[in-house]
Amino acid sequence: MRVRLLEAADLEPILRIEQRAMANPWNEGQLRAEQSAGNGIAWAAESGNALCGYAFFRTCAPECELLHLVVAPERRRQGVGADVLQQALAYFAGTNFAACFLEVRTSNQAARQLYGKFGFVQVGQRKNYYNQPVEDALLLRRNLIESS
């Protein structure tokens, strides 16, 4: 598997994965906006020539935020999300970002477990943050630089 920066040509396969993988998928306009966001960085995971996962981050130095991490349903539990997350966090740490934030549904145990393995800790909770269904979000943070 290879993790690389997202390219404009990746929009179509992302749309296909998004529709299959997400209960409340982002639409084409939302995905296109994230691809072109000036303060955004997006990563793609591919196996062979097929895209199998992706992540969108926003940056406001010295912090970044993971907005959306999606893995194709047939590739879940195979390390795709971990590979994307590892590559992205190494990039941000290497470019002097201090912390990464994200929100995750309280019920999303698989994602919470993945983020925990990468050192994310809960620093807050957002009531009724998600819809379809309405649910709280946990706000997680990971420090990217060692404190001296």
96-148 pLDDT per residue, tens: 999 999 999 999 999 999 999 999 999 999 999 998 889 999 999 999 987 54
From residue 5, how far is each of 55, 57, 78, 144 by CA, in Å? Answer: 10, 11, 20, 20
Residue 32 Cα to chain centre, angstroms? 16
Query: How far is it, in rounded angstroms, from Cα 5 to Cα 95?
Result: 15
116-129 pLDDT per residue, tens: 999 999 999 999 99
Q: Is the pLDDT of residue 21 over 60?
A: yes
Contact by Cβ (8 Å): 111, 104: yes
Strand duo 135-143 + 2-5: pairing: unpaired
Contact by Cβ (8 Å): 99, 137: no
State residue 19's pLDDT score: 96
User: Is the CATH number 3.40.630.30 carried by domain 2-143?
Assistant: yes
Omega within 30 of 0 (cis) for the link into 73 = no
Domain ranges of the chain: 2-143
Global pTM?
0.93
**Token representation of residue 23:** 């209960």
